[in-house]
Amino acid sequence: MNQTQKIINQVQKEGRKALLETEAKTICAEYGIPVTKFMLAKSEKEAATQADQIGYPVVLKIVSPDIIHKTEAGGVIVNLKTATDVAAGYKKILENVAKYKAEAKIVGVLVAEMAPQSTEVIVGAIKDPQFGQTVMFGLGGIFVELLKDVNFRVAPLTADDAKEMIMQLKAYPLLNGYRNTPPADIDALVAILCNTSHLIMDYPEIKELDLNPIMAYSKGAKTVDARIILE
Ligand code: ADP
Ligand code: MG
């Protein structure tokens, strides 16, 4: 059995709806959606060893079924540059989370490769009551939140559908290169949209998917945060 099926079975067996970031990213990787390198640490010492393996700088993030918005809980620390800082960061995250939600069950702390800053895009999937499984694409931050500059297509998507979703954004010129920002790798984003479409078509039990943000580079792209919710 593949990883995706195994993870979904396990989550359902545990009576959960929301996948952990580690679970969601393992599924993404299996479907060819690029994600930041990551490992799951269960102690300060383990976090430091894993950071050495991944390479600096790293990001630490709380992994808990009871914490959906990690930043809000003080559960994200970025740009850690030494093993000592990683060990201290691990401790700090657990303290922050304990203050935020004392009863939260802690699975561990994700140690992730720090993705260089770039243009941020978002890929989402929902089940529309009328049209069924639908994929969404937009640019990160204010473009989605304030300007609602997003495009939707009903799955399954062809590569042409995906390309249109990207190119028909009002903010598309930002992806096509401006001032000091080189053009984003549109083919890499098309591949992410098509692979997301494959995933949700294969697993209709996925109610929501949220890759937010994805860093779009001049070569390739990398998913920094992934959420998947089951029905
Ligand atoms: P949440 O959305 O649950 O608060 P995220 O994983 O999205 O948590 O982290 C919050 C922010 O931290 C991201 O939007 C991104 O700007 C930054 N971030 C998180 N992980 C990484 C990473 N691996 N590389 C670079 N930046 C990151
Ligand atoms: Mg996020």
**38, 56, 59: residue to mutate for ligand 1 pocket, most atoms within 8 A of CB:** 59
Instruction: Compute the average pLDDT of residues 1-22.
Output: 95
CA 22 to centroid of ligand 1, rounded, Å: 13
pLDDT attached to residue 143 = 74
Number of CB atoms found within 10 A of residue 206's CB: 23
Q: How confident is the model at residue 1 (pLDDT cuts 50, 70, 90)?
A: low
pLDDT in tens, 98-120: 999 999 999 999 999 999 999 99
Instruction: Compute the average pLDDT of residues 26-34.
Output: 98
pLDDT attached to residue 180 = 80
Q: What string of DSSP letters covers the chain?
A: --HHHHHHHHHHHTT-SBPPHHHHHHHHHHTT--B--EEEESSHHHHHHHHHHH-SSEEEEEE-TT-SSTTTTT-EEEEE-SHHHHHHHHHHHHHHHHHH-TTPPP-EEEEEEPPPP-EEEEEEEEEETTTEEEEEEEESTHHHHTT--EEEEESSPPHHHHHHHHHTSTTHHHHS-BTTBPPP-HHHHHHHHHHHHHHHHH-TTEEEEEEEEEEE-SS-EEE--EEEEE-
pLDDT attached to residue 206 = 98
State the pTM of this model.
Answer: 0.96
pLDDT in tens, 62-84: 999 999 999 999 999 999 999 99
CA–CA gap between residue 94 and residue 105 (Å, rounded)? 11
pLDDT in tens, 192-216: 999 999 999 999 999 999 999 999 9
Atom of ligand 1 nearest to the CA of 213: 14
**Summary mean pLDDT of the chain:** 96
pLDDT in tens, 127-185: 999 999 999 999 987 777 777 899 999 999 999 999 999 999 999 999 998 888 889 99
CA 126 to centroid of ligand 2, rounded, Å: 17
Atom 13 of ligand 1 has which residue's CA nearest to it?
213
Atom of ligand 1 nearest to the CA of 71: 4
User: What are phi and psi for residue 108, nearest 5 degrees?
Assistant: 160, -160
**Identity of the amino acid at 47:** A
Atom of ligand 1 nearest to the CA of 70: 3
Atom 17 of ligand 1 has which residue's CA nearest to it?
78
Atom of ligand 1 nearest to the CA of 38: 23
pLDDT attached to residue 162 = 98
Atom 8 of ligand 1 has which residue's CA nearest to it?
70
Atom 16 of ligand 1 has which residue's CA nearest to it?
213
CA–CA gap between residue 189 and residue 216 (Å, rounded)? 8
